[in-house]
Amino acid sequence: MSRTAIVSAMHEELRALLPLLERPQQAEFAGRRFHLGQMMGRPVVLVLSGIGKVAAATTAALLLHEVEVERIVFTGAAGGLGAGVRVGDVVVARELLQHDMDASPLFPRFEVPLTGRARFPSDPALSDALAAATLHCLNDARTRIGEAHLADFGIDSPLLHEGLVISGDRFVATAPESEQLRKLLPDALAVEMEGAALAQVCADFGAPFAVLRTISDRADDSAHVDFSRFIVEVASVYTREIVASWLEGASFA
């Protein structure tokens, strides 16, 4: 059976997934530990990418070239940009763009030079399946996450959003900066620091990928408040539950 990679940006997220790994084995490339094994009876590899576009690109290239995975799912947190994208919601990316890519006037703003495009689509079937698993898990977020944690973060009825996710090598933590991104890219739902780099590498390799993000903040002046606690108490739990539910029902061979 073909192997699926599940990539986390942060230790806390990987830590939540590792207990689900059966028959674990390890391999190391370029200072990264790749945790191979089975999850829900399917071959997987779990790995920490580290934070930022270069870390994500290196990890994706190693997964595709050294570990020879068939598909990559990147999980983690993101700042909400779109109206109605609230803390505790989940975003499944349908397209990804590097918001800090700017080789203008040589190339249009955001376009990755010599590729002719700024937006890289995620794999439709993989994203559909993750979106379905997300809806299933959000329906009983109360039991999965716990009323107390949800109330703590002001989360009421978490929603799924699907569309454009933008990535750049900065944690967006001021209202003017997120306002500027909204103005330049009005359809952007969320901002994070890795997804579009993964997308570019997967496009080079012709490999299917998807990006799943829990909204941890609104990319404004309070974006850093409670960030680590949110990752541990909410985002990591969502990721674990959604990935397990998706793998359980996955239709790929």
Residue ranges in contact with ligand ADE by CB under 6 A: 77-79, 171-173, 191-193, 216-217, 219, 223
- Pick the catalytic residue from 12, 162, 177, 217: 217
- Pick the catalytic residue from 13, 89, 233, 241: 13
Task: Report the residue number whose CB is nearest to ligand ADE.
Answer: 79
In angstroms, what is the minimal distance from the CB of 223 to ligand ADE?
Answer: 4
- The two most distant CA atoms of the chain are separated, in Å, by 52
In angstroms, what is the minimal distance from the CB of 143 to ligand ADE?
Answer: 25
Opening angle at CA 216, ends 212 and 222, nearest 5:
150
Is the CB of residue 35 less than 8 Å from the CB of residue 24? yes
The CA distance from 64 to 6, in Å, is: 12
Kindly tell me which of 176 and 206 has the beta carbon lying closer to ligand ADE: 176
Q: Look up 179 and say whether it is catalytic.
A: no
Kindly tell me which of 35 and 213 has the beta carbon lying closer to ligand ADE: 213
Kindly tell me which of 76 and 208 has the beta carbon lying closer to ligand ADE: 76
In angstroms, what is the minimal distance from the CB of 61 to ligand ADE?
Answer: 22
Q: Nearest-CA neighbor of 181 among 221, 213, 224, 220?
A: 220
Angle between helix 124-139 and 236-249 (nearest 10): 120
Q: Look up 13 and say whether it is catalytic.
A: yes
Kindly tell me which of 209 and 230 has the beta carbon lying closer to ligand ADE: 230
Which tokens belong to 97? 């763009």
Q: For residue 176, report the phi and psi dihedrals to the nearest 5 degrees.
A: -60, -40
Which residues are marked as active site?
13, 217
